[in-house]
Amino acid sequence: MEDVNFGKVAKALEGPAYIAVGFGVLGFQRAQVRRRELQRRVGELTVAVNRKMSEISDDVAERLPKEASDLLKAAGDFAGDLTREAEGLVEESVALGRFVLRMLQGGDGR
């Protein structure tokens, strides 16, 4: 087998290697651009769907009898109150936990 001049081989492969890396970088950048375009489009569609759902729910609410509309409003108010109630319950639970911890430590903070 003849002696192979690895310096010449490396020099001959250097250009194609740079080209391959360049194509890889370009492909990655193109994928990033496509991803951003897709994110923007999905965001636009989400806004459009939310707007349409709001229009439909408003239309349905207008067609409901007054009693049903009042019931839905009361249910919405109740759901909002539940959030505030839950927040209050969590605060009370934390305070009770601190009290019990102080009692277990001997009451004087030991």
Task: Say whether pLDDT at 31 is over 70.
Answer: yes
Per-residue pLDDT tens digits for 63-88: 878 888 788 788 878 777 777 778 88
**C-alpha to C-alpha distance for 14 and 19, rounded to whole angstroms:** 9
Task: Say whether pLDDT at 1 is over 60.
Answer: no
Q: SS3 for 52?
A: helix
**C-alpha to C-alpha distance for 12 and 19, rounded to whole angstroms:** 12
Per-residue pLDDT tens digits for 40-56: 999 999 999 999 998 98
Side-chain-facing half-sphere of 44: CA atoms under 13 Å: 6
pTM: 0.45
**C-alpha to C-alpha distance for 47 and 53, rounded to whole angstroms:** 10
**C-alpha to C-alpha distance for 14 and 88, rounded to whole angstroms:** 69
State both tokens at 67: 């009693």
